[in-house]
Structure formats: structure tokens, C-alpha cells
Structure 1
Amino acid sequence: MKVDLHNHTVLCNHATGTVAEYVEAAIGCKTEYFGFSDHAPMHFDPKYRMHFDQMEVYESWIKEAQERYAKDITVLLGYEIDYLPGYMDESVWGRKCDYLIGSVHFIDDWGFDNPEFIGRYEGADIDDIYRRYFALIETMASSGKFDIVGHLDLLKVFKFLPTKDIRILAEGALKAIKKANMTIEINVSGYRKPIEEAYPSPLLLESISELEIPITFGSDAHCKEQVGMYSRETEALARSVGYSQCALYRQRDREMIKF
């Protein structure tokens, strides 16, 4: 991937490896723009994110990498922020960074992509869960606080799929994303999960293309070995629905480049 904006560090407590190892892996993959977007702190689920007093450390690590590898690659600084009403902290919004990824990992208090809580799918109305999920994506986009939508259809991770057409279920969310002038990432981590396909699905990506919503790419790497995985498949997927450019951000301003 020429552009890879979604990657993590050990500060999220569920990743391994150093910042340098990730950057060097990206250089080896011939990535030109590599972004870190670790899980921003909030007063919920602290086990899987950095603490508030670690933001300075995180930013210093990325800035050090920017200087150290400037001749070989452009390193970018971002945050992945969970959209969870009532728990997001204003101290995160004011950080100076290149971009903010907005992601939904929770429906109320349920971390639906965490295998610890997979049992809650059993007996549930899957179509209704998808409606609730995409309603959160819609309100997240409408907030105007984010640049990129993270792993748009993450809810499919364990292969619990709706009976209704996913394009219909996601229609309101996609319209809100378009209105907010956001970018949608093609996140390859789904290839490493039970669903075995990228987020978003090819069907959703067709709708995204029809709406002319910009895309970008993310390994969502939690170890150096995951950096750049499935690059060819992912860029081919984007091209199959008509994309030839992707987005990157510097200081919250979007640029489009050919891939």
C-alpha cells in the first residue's frame, strides 16, 4: 500500500513491537506514507487503549520516527477514537495531529468485536444490531469531529451477517459520511479475522464509489508482521470499483494521491 494510515503501538495494550519496527516494515513494503493511529484514551474499557497521561509519550515516539526516517518515508500522527456517547473526552480533540479516525467498537456497553463477548450474538436480532450499529456510524459522521471512518462494517467480524441487504442498512450512514466530507478506509484486518474479507465489503464499496466518497488504506497492524499485509488484494479491490486515488492527511488537511 502506498498509503497506510491505521496502525497501532504497544500503548494500546494489545499490540507488540516498537514504532521503529513498524516503520522499517513499512519501508520494506515500499509504503510512502505510513500513519500511526493508536487507540485514544477515554474513561471506558481502559484495558484496550492508552491512558490520558500517555498521549505525550505516544506523540513523542511518532515525532522521533518522523525525524529519524524522513529520508525514507513520511510518518504521520493520528488517533483512533471510539465513538461512544458519554465517554469521549474533550482533551483528545485538541491534540495536534494529522488526522482522527472515528470507529465504533461498542453498542452501548457491548464490545461486539471482542471474542470475549461473542456469546451476545446468540439469539439476537442480527438485522436490528446492524441498524443500531450503522445509526452510531451515522451520528459519528454527523458530529463533524472526524476525518476518516474506521473499518466501516466491523460488525461482520465473526460472520454474523444480516438477512437484509447491507447497502440498505448502511444507506443513512453513507449519506452522513458523504455530507461530512469524510474518507472511508479500506481496512485489511478483516482478512485476518473469521470474516476473511476487508472492511468494507465489496458490495458496500460499490455504494461508496457511487457516492464518490474518498477512500484510504489501513493495515490496522498490531505487530510488525501485519504491516502491509494484503496490499495487492486491497488496492485491486479499490481499483475494481473505479478508484485510482486515495487520501492522506497532514494537520487535518486532506490530500489525494494516485496509488
Structure 2
Amino acid sequence: MIVDLHNHTPLCNHATGSIETYVQKAIEQKIDIFGFSDHAPMHFDEAYRMRFDEMETYEKEVLHVKMKYRDSIRILLAYEIDFLEGYLDESVLARKVDYRIGSVHFLGKWGFDNPEFIGGYQNKNIDAIWEEYFAAIKTMAESHLFDIVGHIDLIKVFKFLPKKDVRCIAKEAIKAIKKADMVIELNAAGLRKPIQEQYPSHPLMELMAEHDIPITFGSDAHTPEQIGYCHDKLRTLAHHYGYTTCATFEERERQLINF
């Protein structure tokens, strides 16, 4: 089975291609379970996400292709929700979805993965930045609001890497994820970014496997051409660390299937 649970739509304002085109590409890539998890609305950084009044349109369009292509592929409905304290919105959390991806894209008001704000790394202790990031991941897990951790080491995107062992920096976050019974995605987007490495890194994969944390897969596609990107590489990586099953969801109920 091929599972791909992290994909976007043009409603986020930084993706291209119609929802139907994404589905057709997923079928072409022989994906069995395909999830739309576009950026949920939030009263912050509004240029890079759908509006609150677009949620119903998004859901209707995804449910439409779910029915239209039901004989060829299983389509899931989800949101990728930014974990930013003070900005989580109950109207988003109340939506009926198959799963929620929780992601950290901001440290305070700093969008650390946006090239526009790369200057924020200047004259800062890189280990302190990484520690702050994984403290946010830990707090996100402790909120018990999400099913999947999105691109767990996104902070490495521009190759500003810590001097300390990342396993030491991330260990408390990993424990919190395990305690919250969350899934961590293997996300291909990092292979398209300056870091040129999937999320998570090999040391984090080792830590995840030690804690027996379930995984799933995501292209994090923002164009149809990115669907299924390096999926074979992600599957090989997962097998290397002893994984034989991955998570999928229906109405927030998790199921582990062989891949």
C-alpha cells in the first residue's frame, strides 16, 4: 500500500494545480490512500493559508473528488494546523476531518522556514534556536490536539545545523510524542529544500524507532508534479529502521497498514 497524507491545494496561496489534478496525479503514481491537508486558516500569516470562509469550499471539493474517484483511490480530508500559542482557533478544531497534522512554522512571530526571514538566524545561538523549536514540538504534543507531527525537524531547512547532538535536543519532544500516541510523518519536502534531506533525519529516525513511534508518509506537495516525490526513498528509509507498517486515518481513528 502507498500512503501519502500531506498535500496542499491552491487555497493556501502558495500551491498550484486543481484539487482534481492532484487526485489524477496520485492515481497515476499508484497511490492507494491520498490525503489533502491544506494549511488551516489562522489570524496570523494570512497570506500563506486559506481564509476561514474558505474551509467549507475546501471540504466540499475534497469530498467531491473522494466520491468521484472512490473506485480508483481513497481520499482523506484533513488540515495542517500551525501550532502557535494564542492563535489556535476553535472553529478550525471543530471541523470534521480524518486527521490533523500539527506543525511548527513559527518561533514567536518568526517564520523561520520562510526565505523572506532567513536573516533571523544571524547572530543567534543555533543550539538555542533548535532547543526552542523542539520545546515547541513538545508543547504541541502535550496539547493532545493533533494526530500527526508535520516535518518534525523543519528547523534544519536552510542547513543551520546544531552543534549539539540532535537526539539530545529532541529527546523530550520525542517522549512527549510517544506519550501523546502521535504519528510522525516521513516528509519528502526537505529533499526539495536547501537541506536536501527528508524530514526526519537519520538520527531522529533512530530515536523514533527506539521509542516505537508510528510513522506515515507525506509528499507535502504544493504542485501536482511533487506528488509521490521520492516515495521509494522514504519507504526504504523506513524499512532500514525496522518499520513495516504506516498509519492512515478515518474520522481520526488510526489504522496501521503494511507498506
- With structure 2 as the length reference, what TM-score do the two structures score? 0.99
1:202: how far off?
1.0
* Distance in 2 (alpha carbons) for counterparts of 1:227 and 1:47: 23
1:18 maps to amino acid: S
Map 1:55-74; keep pairs closer than 5 Å.
55-74=55-74
Aligned to 1:46: 46
Deviation readout 1:43-91 (Å, 9 max, x if unpaired)? 0000000000000000001000100100000000000000000011111
Describe the SS at the equivalent of 1:184. Answer: strand
Superposed, 1:8-47 pairs within 5 Å as: 8-47=8-47
The aligned counterpart of 1:77 is 77
**SS in structure 1 at match of 2:205:** helix
1:164 aligns with 2:155: no
Counterpart-to-counterpart distance in 1, 2:255 and 2:179: 18
Matches within 5 A, 1:51-130: 51-130=51-130
Residue 133 of structure 1 aligns to a residue in which SS? helix
Which sections of structure 2, spanning at least 5 residues, go unmatched? Answer: none
Task: Give the AA of the match of 1:243.
Answer: Y
SS at match of 1:101: strand
What amino acid maps onto 1:28 in structure 2? Answer: E
Map of 1:241 onto structure 2: 241
Amino-acid identity (%): 59
Q: Deviations over 1:12-35 (max 9, x none)?
A: 000000011111111111110000
Task: Report the residue type matching 1:162 in the other structure.
Answer: P
Secondary structure of 1:64's match?
Answer: helix
Task: Give me the whole-angstrom Cα distance separating, in 2, the residues matched to 1:48 and 1:203.
Answer: 31
Kindly state the Cα deviation for residue 203 of structure 1 after the two structures are TM-superposed: 1.0
Matched residues, number? 259
- What's the counterpart of residue 250 of structure 2? 250
Query: Are 2:213 and 1:213 aligned?
Result: yes
AA of the residue aligned to 1:230: C
Instruction: Give the match for residue 179 of structure 1.
Output: 179
State the 1:123 CA deviation.
1.5
TM-score w.r.t. the length of structure 1 is 0.99
Cα-to-partner distance string for 1:132-188 (whole Å, 9 max, x where unaligned)? 000000000000000000000000000000000000000010000000000000000
Instruction: Work out the CA distance in 2 between the residues paired with 1:117 and 1:67.
Output: 41
Query: What's the offset of the Cα at 1:120?
Result: 1.0
- Measure the CA separation in 1 of the matches of 2:229 and 2:62: 21
The one-letter code of the counterpart of 1:205 is M
User: What corresponds to 2:2 in structure 1?
Assistant: 2
Code of the aligned partner of 2:229: M
The SS at the match of 1:106 is coil
Query: How big is the alpha-carbon RMSD for the aligned residues of Structure 1 and Structure 2?
Result: 0.6
In 1, the alpha carbon distance for the partners of 2:24 and 2:244 equals 26
Matches of 1:23 and 1:145, distance apart in 2:
28
